């Protein structure tokens, strides 16, 4: 896990489900073949309704037409982010698109677990509802050790919830590395 | 301890566990399918080696079901990938497409094939794996990484969930189904009301339900964010399981000292048919509040609403009538499909024995003007563009499935209402959302 995660934010509302994060029609691509893998970046967040895509104004595509990566490094969302299906393709698609961290008010359980165990994106929670404060395009600086996020436009710093027990898995890289380091598997 | 805690403690080799504990547990059964199986296998090989062996091939069940009847070459490649892996590991529980072993939707097939064993732990690479909890076991959905970890070790870490208890008292009126009960619960607690929690269903009305109807309750625990849904096993559960397998299991009784984080009692005799309006499963309304909403399409299928009794319920309403909108009928499994072709309606309605007027259920649907599909997930999750019943435009659909998020059935411009098979059938006949009480005699 990086000590510092900086970049522009893409803001979403509540209960953005896995069908919006990566629509089912695209789940057929290989997650390892480079030519196909990048399709997950192209279609990441492609089913978010236009009015909610890139709040507060909406109508901002997460990935520009014909591109495979996003201009945004950090997704900011309301509550219950990643609800719906268990598809690991969801945090994976965000990672392929270039996202390093998500800051949500809360997460659906399987998405959170997948993000951590697969080591795709760091799922932060913030007590303050950042989705109401941050605007799409704002530049954020996350200080992982301090557990804070700084919003440059507002020159304000917000506290993130401690990552707690999952920090060790994120630090190790994924659940396999974590299990190896703790002697669970060879 | 609650039922869920008791099962988890036993699988962690502990006397007690408490909500919030992070524990490593033994996995009894792992299920995967065609969408998440191939990437799971890739991770398994990456982490444990090209020649690694599955921890226990007899506990791995692979049920292709999602993208089956499509010409999409990538989807077909996924099946080939599963086939090769099953051969390499001599998997006894691989149900290959295009053979007589093919089953259809994984959660329904797990029940039919006797893999839902009371007191056990079952993990699957599908969020609706919580369905199996109807048989008194701990079951939940995981991602590919966790599934690959189980594949190699037979173990997984879990955080012990708190339990919410939903008690249904009274006698279920004939116009209500388990779908109405669970949509009511989801409407009450919200999409994240059950996050990190077990949802336990209890009460006489629950134990009066058939196993298929109980599965509808646990199936949608995930739509409230639940980690698992669970119903204590009883004689009905045992009879169902014993008719299908001689595998060993240990029944787990709920304990008197169980503590619940939330409890709610419903009197089912006072409940009404409900729908979930677009675009959220917790966007509940009484059918009477949305009656008359014009529809373009009806869809009866999926692990939620494509079981045999779901079609019996729909056929009771459709028999002798014609649908007014395109109505897609997609059996969840090949066993359901076979029974639809062999069995008809009994006078008493919800029992599919004997033929009324010599008509099979299949014929009743055909005569009503329905479009009949092959056993699979179908358009429940949209899927490849050539999927039977998938939306492509601004269709307004009423469906027996479990999710109506934007784009779930294909097009993000379409709008999906979720409802019981009775409500969907009544609405298909009228072409507008209709209360089943208006057509049930
Ligand atoms: S029928 Fe629908 S909900 Fe059930 S497993 Fe298939 S896609 Fe998932």
pLDDT tens track for B18-69:
999 999 999 999 999 999 999 999 999 999 999 999 999 999 999 999 999 9
Intervals of chain A under pLDDT 50: none
Structure token pair of residue B73? 């070459």
Beta bridge partners of A140: A7, A151
Ligand 1 pocket residue status of B377, Cβ below 6 Å: yes
pLDDT tens digits along A81-108: 999 999 999 999 999 999 999 999 999 9
| Class of CATH domain A8-139 | alpha beta
Total count of domains within chain B: 2
Q: Label residue B355 by pLDDT band (50, 70, 90).
A: low
Q: Label residue B353 by pLDDT band (50, 70, 90).
A: low
Q: Label residue B357 by pLDDT band (50, 70, 90).
A: low
Q: Which residues of A touch B145 (CB under 8 A)?
A: 88, 114, 117-118, 174-176
The reply to whether B363 falls in a domain is yes
Query: How are the residues of chain A apportioned to helix, strand and coil, as percentages rounded to the nearest 5?
Result: 30, 20, 50
Q: Check residue B352 and give its pLDDT.
A: 47
Mean of the per-residue pLDDT values of chain B: 96
Same domain, B116 and B223: yes
pLDDT at B306 over 50: yes
Q: Which residues of A touch B152 (CB under 8 A)?
A: 185
The DSSP string of B329-355 is EE-SBHHHHHHHHH---BTTBS---S-
Same domain, B212 and B309: no
Say how far apart CA B57 and CA B87 lie, in whole Å.
11
Query: Cβ separation of B412 and A79 shorter than 8 Å?
Result: no
Same domain, B338 and B429: yes
Q: How many CB atoms lie within 10 A of CB B401?
A: 27
Say how far apart CA B176 and CA B268 lie, in whole Å.
9
Same domain, B142 and B17: yes
Ligand 1 pocket residue status of B300, Cβ below 6 Å: no
Q: Label residue B351 by pLDDT band (50, 70, 90).
A: very low
- Kindly indicate whether the ipTM for this predicted assembly is greater than 0.90, answering yes or no: yes
The reply to whether B253 falls in a domain is no
- Asked if residue A102 lies in contact with residue A81, where contact means CB atoms within 8 angstroms, the answer is yes
Query: Cβ separation of A118 and B144 shorter than 8 Å?
Result: yes
Would you tell me which residues 391-420 of chain B have a C-beta closer than 8 angstroms to some C-beta of chain A? Answer: 403, 405-408, 410, 412
Would you tell me which residues 64-83 of chain B have a C-beta closer than 8 angstroms to some C-beta of chain A? Answer: 67, 72, 74-75, 77-78
Question: Alpha helices, DSSP H only, in B64-208?
Answer: 73-88, 106-112, 144-153, 178-189, 204-208
The reply to whether B25 falls in a domain is yes
Structure token pair of residue A128? 């303050």
Nearest chain B residue to A37 by CA distance is B39
pLDDT at B348 over 80: no
Same domain, B18 and B154: yes
pLDDT tens digits along B111-124: 999 999 999 999 99
Say how far apart CA B311 and CA B331 lie, in whole Å.
8
pLDDT at B349 over 60: no
Residue-number span of the structural domain to which B384 is assigned: 275-438
pLDDT at B227 over 70: yes
The contacts of residue B133 (CB under 8 Å, 6+ apart) are B139, B218, B221, B228, B229, B230, B231
The reply to whether B162 falls in a domain is yes
The reply to whether B252 falls in a domain is no
Ligand 1 pocket residue status of B310, Cβ below 6 Å: no
Nearest to B309 by CA among B277, B331, B290, B284: B331
Q: Mapping DSSP to helix (H, G, I), strand (E, B) and coil, where does residue B100 land? A: coil
Same domain, B13 and B127: yes
Ranking A24-38, B245-259, B354-368, B404-418 by mean pLDDT, the lowest is B354-368
The reply to whether B255 falls in a domain is no
Q: Check residue B356 and give its pLDDT.
A: 55
Q: Check residue B350 and give its pLDDT.
A: 47
Same domain, B23 and B136: yes
Same domain, B353 and B389: yes
CATH number for the domain that contains residue B424: 3.30.499.10
The structural domains of chain A, with segments of one domain joined by +, span 8-139
Same domain, B144 and B229: yes
Q: What percent of chain B has pLDDT over 90?
A: 95
- CA–centroid distance, B106 to ligand 1, in Å, is 8
Same domain, B39 and B117: yes
The reply to whether B254 falls in a domain is no
The reply to whether B81 falls in a domain is yes
Would you tell me which residues 114-133 of chain B have a C-beta closer than 8 angstroms to some C-beta of chain A? Answer: 124-127, 129
Same domain, B190 and B327: no
Nearest to A62 by CA among A138, A9, A140: A9
Same domain, B221 and B321: no
* pTM for the structure as a whole: 0.96
Ligand 1 pocket residue status of B126, Cβ below 6 Å: yes
- CA–centroid distance, B66 to ligand 1, in Å, is 7
Q: Label residue B10 by pLDDT band (50, 70, 90).
A: very high
Q: Which residues of B touch A176 (CB under 8 A)?
A: 47, 145, 149
Ligand 1 pocket residue status of B380, Cβ below 6 Å: yes
Q: Which residues of A touch B24 (CB under 8 A)?
A: 184
Q: Check residue B440 and give its pLDDT.
A: 85
Q: Is A28 left (phi over 0), alpha (psi -120 to 50) or beta?
A: alpha
């Amino acid at each position: 896990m990086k000590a510092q995660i900086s970049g522009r934010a893409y803001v979403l509302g509540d209960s953005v489900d896995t069908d919006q994060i990566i629509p089912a029609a695209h789940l057929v691509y290989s997650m390892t073949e480079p030519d196909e893998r990048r399709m997950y970046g192209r279609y990441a967040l492609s089913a978010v309704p236009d009015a909610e895509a890139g709040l507060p104004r909406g109508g901002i595509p997460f990935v520009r037409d014909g591109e495979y990566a996003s201009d945004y490094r950090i997704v900011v969302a309301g509550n219950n982010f990643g609800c719906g299906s268990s598809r690991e393709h969801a945090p994976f698609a965000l990672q392929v698109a270039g996202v390093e961290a998500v800051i949500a008010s809360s997460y659906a359980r399987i998405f959170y677990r997948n993000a951590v165990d697969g080591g795709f994106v760091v799922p932060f929670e913030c007590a303050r509802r950042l989705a109401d404060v941050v605007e799409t395009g704002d530049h954020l600086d996350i200080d992982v050790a301090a557990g804070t996020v700084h919003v440059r436009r507002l020159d304000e710093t917000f506290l993130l919830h401690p990552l707690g027990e999952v920090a060790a898995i994120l630090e190790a890289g994924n659940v396999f590395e974590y299990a190896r380091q703790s002697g669970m598997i060879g | 301890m609650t039922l869920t805690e008791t099962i988890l403690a036993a699988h962690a080799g502990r006397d007690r566990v408490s909500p919030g504990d992070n524990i490593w547990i033994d996995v009894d059964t792992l299920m995967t399918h065609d969408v998440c199986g191939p990437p799971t296998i890739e991770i398994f090989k990456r982490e444990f080696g090209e020649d690694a062996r599955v921890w226990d091939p007899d506990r791995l069940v692979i049920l292709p079901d999602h993208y089956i009847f499509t010409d999409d070459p990538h989807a077909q490649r996924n099946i080939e990938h599963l086939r090769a892996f099953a051969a390499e590991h001599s998997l006894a529980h691989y149900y290959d497409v295009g053979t007589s072993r093919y089953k259809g939707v994984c959660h329904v097939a797990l029940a039919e094939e006797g893999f839902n064993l009371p007191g056990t732990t079952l993990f699957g690479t599908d969020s609706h794996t919580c369905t199996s909890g109807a048989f008194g076991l701990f079951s939940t959905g995981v991602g590919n990484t966790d599934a690959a970890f189980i594949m190699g070790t037979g173990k997984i870490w879990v955080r012990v969930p708190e339990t919410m208890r939903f008690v249904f008292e009274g006698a279920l009126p004939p116009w209500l189904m388990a779908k109405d009960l669970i949509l009511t619960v989801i409407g009450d607690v919200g999409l994240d009301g059950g996050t990190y929690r077990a949802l336990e269903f209890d009460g006489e009305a629950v134990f009066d339900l058939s196993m298929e109807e109980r599965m509808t309750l646990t199936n949608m625990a995930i739509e409230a964010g639940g980690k698992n849904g669970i119903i204590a096993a009883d004689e009905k559960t045992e009879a169902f399981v014993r008719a299908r397998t001689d595998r060993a299991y240990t029944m787990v009784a709920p304990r008197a000292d169980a503590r619940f984080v939330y409890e709610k009692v419903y009197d089912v005799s006072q409940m009404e048919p409900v729908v979930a309006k677009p675009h959220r499963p917790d966007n509940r309304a009484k059918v009477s509040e949305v009656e008359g909403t014009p529809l373009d399409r009806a869809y009866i299928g999926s692990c939620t609403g494509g079981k045999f009794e779901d079609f019996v319920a729909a056929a009771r309403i459709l028999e002798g009538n014609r649908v007014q909108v395109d109505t897609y009928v997609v059996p969840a499994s090949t066993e359901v499909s076979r029974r639809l072709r062999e069995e008809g309606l009994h006078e008493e309605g919800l029992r599919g024995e004997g033929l009324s007027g010599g008509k099979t259920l299949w014929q009743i649907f055909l005569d009503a003007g329905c479009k009949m599909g092959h056993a699979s997930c179908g358009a429940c999750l949209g899927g490849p563009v050539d999927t039977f019943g998938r939306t492509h435009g601004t269709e307004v659909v009423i469906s027996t499935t479990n999710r109506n998020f934007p784009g779930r059935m294909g097009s993000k411009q379409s709008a999906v209402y979720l409802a019981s098979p009775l409500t969907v059938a009544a609405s298909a006949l009228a072409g507008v959302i209709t209360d089943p009480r208006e057509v049930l005699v």
